[in-house]
Chain A
Amino acid sequence: MTNSTLAAGAVERHLRARRDTGNGLLMPYVTGGITSGWTDYLRAFADAGADAIEVGLPFSDPTLDGVTIQRAGDTALARGASTRRILADLSGLPDLGVPLVVSTYYNLVLHDGPETFCAALREAGAGGLIVPDLPVHEADELTDVAAEAGIEPVLLASPATPRPRLAEIARRSRGFVYAVSLMGTTGERTALAASAAELTGRIRRLTDRPVLLGFGISTPDQAREAHRHADGVVVGAAVMRRVLDGAGPDDLRVFLTTLRQALDPRPSTRSVTDHDESRRRARGEISRHRRRPRREDPVGTLRPR
């Protein structure tokens, strides 16, 4: 067992364990507060076999998002979404059996102060935090208090990141390393960028932490190709475009199931009982034994490499 596994938090342990099954990791994104029953999407994501779920707290000025997620954020804000309301919605949920990773811009973290903010995330049952406008050299203010609150701060790496900073990102990121597949904003693309393979290769030489590729991944083919380089994918704009077009939780479950299958070595390795179990747990039929990710969760075996 390596030091990094010993130090790993619940999100990272969960992702490592899932990775060890040989399946690609799937982390769909939803903008919090996008519809009145938005948490139903979380359930649908879990049912479709998500390994983690990213919940975006909408911000008025999302400088790293393309038009789809901008529009989703504006829609949610116009509906009255706020950090407080979204976290309250999450607190009311039964355990989905899938770690929740919150993402937002740093202004919303600073607004309450990193300490209060992280405590509120923990209280709401979230395990990780992604802040795309907080690069590693500014992250000290957040990382220490996050660790104390039991929140794993995920750092982003970009194709433009030079080696020394990439090493620092790989070392200091928690949960997983978020590999930004291309030099651009979030949004669907027709093909996986060539920079994706190169970047994930560079990260893998530095760490055995899970690496998820994000930005632009929108089809099963792209997910399959991404899994050849990375441990899994983050899918945001492709989900939110459907949601904005009126797709409900069931439609999203169908869409994400196609990605799930593309990420699994054999389409149906993930047993039906797995799905059944998460559904029953969502309905409260299985005890909420993991209401929140706990530090003492068993550690999955390391994937041989």
Chain B
Amino acid sequence: MRDVTLWREPVPPDGTMGEPLARGRFGEYGGRYAPESLVEACHEVEAAFREAWTDPGFRGALARLLAVHAGRPTPLTPADRLSEALGVRLLLKREDLTHTGSHKINNVLGQALLAVRMGRRRLIAETGAGQHGVATATAAALLGLGATVFMGERDIERQALNVFRMRMLGAEVVPVTAGSRTLKDATSEAMRHWVGATGEAHYCVGSVVGPDPYPWMVREFQRVIGEEARAQCAAELRTGVPDHVVACVGGGSNAAGTFAGFADTPARLVGVEAEGGAGASRGRLGVLHGCRSLFLQDDDGQIVEAHSISAGLDYPGVGPEHAHLRDLGRARYVTVTDEEAVEAAVRLARTEGIVPALESAHALAWVIRAAGDGELPSGSTVLMTLSGRGDKDVSTLKELL
């Protein structure tokens, strides 16, 4: 079994990226804005998580699943040829090499184990790109649970292969026809479904969004990315800590997990959003899907549809902790266009032999741009989380290229 001491929580003295404040707050964001029918269910999840997270038995069981099933730890790959071309030292944290092909599995294995501990028999999930849905279907199969995955009709068309994978894994995939028929609508539908199923099913939220305790709990389950990367950087870099830590941000779970490993270091944290889904960069204060955070809205307060080539970044908001990190100035949030992301994906394929997910390609696109315009001084060290592999996006790319 893996060394569980790696799971310590190096919370910086100011508490950044530690436990949320009372009532699930990260600064003014977060909270539990759930319908009364879900408040008790959220409370049960919180109580179960608090207990499990201090239980070495639970930690050990999760560490073992992550090792023997998901293939952790994932390697840190120096992107040598690209680094040379860019004039910076780029290290890739390879979440694309996990079983099921993205970081989503880290969170799902944690929540699935928790669901079993709570006596639940079924997992409910929303999915955009299908990666969280596939991870949920996988964990459900592994632990003998049922799985019901809500997915917008438009995403079902865009991500047909992942729909098939989920069904092959035994999950029920429910098409969502409401609203923009993408991730935000799938999330609403999953919440509605959970209201009628709280005693029997656990809602396995896929990112650091939703009512308390989800933003905190999902970040803790993703913390393994940052913890491993920190130890790997310490071995790889003369300075021990990279100058910049970069990750893409949809809801923000791979970024939160990565940042959590470096919150108490001098590393500069950069979250990269899709131009058409930039909740942290352009959102306004609001409440959606159970939490208070930043959301894209029109002048009347209606939530605006996000538009991104990558289904996983097609969410009009951002997790509450990112909104807080932004306000604190501890992390910066930047945006990248569809074109830049596609270009970056091709470049990584041709220089490093890695086809990234289009979500992850956004993070890389910013590194390429910032190295070009001097924002990343030559010689800087950059850790970038490569959140997923590009298999799911090849049909999208094939049409564009």
- Listed in ascending order, the chain A residues whose CB lies under 8 Å from chain B are 59-67, 70, 74, 77, 82-84, 105-108, 110-112, 132-138, 155-162, 165, 169, 180, 183-185
Contacts and interface: CB of A to CB of B under 8 A. Distances in A.
A180 B36 contact: yes
B395 interface: no
A161 B196 contact: no
B289 A74 contact: no
Interface in B171-200: 178-179, 184-185, 188, 191-192, 195-196, 198
Contact of A156 (B31, B35, B40, B178): B35
Nearest to B304: A60
Contacts of B288: 61, 107
A59 B302 contact: yes
Interface stretch (B101-109, B251-259, B293-301, B366-374): B293-301
A132 B41 CA distance: 16
Interface of B is mostly: mixed
A160 B303 contact: no
A135 B301 contact: no
Given A70-B178, A106-B287, A61 B184 contact: yes
B37 interface: yes
Contacts of B300: 82-84, 108, 111
19 contacts: A61-B179, A61-B289, A63-B192, A64-B37, A70-B178, A74-B178, A84-B300, A107-B301, A110-B285, A111-B284, A133-B33, A134-B33, A137-B23, A158-B37, A161-B39, A162-B40, A169-B36, A185-B192, A185-B195
Given A59-B302, A61-B179, A110 B286 contact: yes
B37 A183 contact: yes
B32 interface: yes
A184 B195 contact: yes
B72 to A, nearest CB: 34
B34 interface: yes
A183 B301 contact: no
Interface residues of B, number: 35
B294 to A, nearest CB: 12
A64 B195 contact: yes
Interface of B: 23, 31-37, 39-41, 178-179, 184-185, 188, 191-192, 195-196, 198, 284-290, 292, 295, 297, 300-303
Contacts of A106: 33, 287
Nearest to A162: B40
A135 B34 contact: yes
A158 B36 contact: yes
A160 B33 contact: no
A162 B188 CA distance: 25
A110 B293 CA distance: 11
A110 B37 contact: no
Contacts of A183: 37, 195-196, 198
Contacts of A165: 39
Contacts of A59: 301-302
Contact of A161 (B40, B284, B295, B297): B40
Nearest to B23: A137
A77 B302 contact: yes
Given A61-B188, A77-B302, A107-B295, A161 B31 contact: no
Contact of A135 (B39, B178, B191): B39
Contact of A108 (B31, B34, B35, B301): B301
B40 A138 contact: no
A133 B285 contact: no
Given A63-B192, A107-B295, A107-B303, A160 B287 contact: no
Given A110-B287, A111-B301, A133-B287, A63 B36 contact: no
Q: Which residue among B33, B40, B288, B300 has the maximum number of chain A CB atoms within 10 Å of its CB?
A: B300
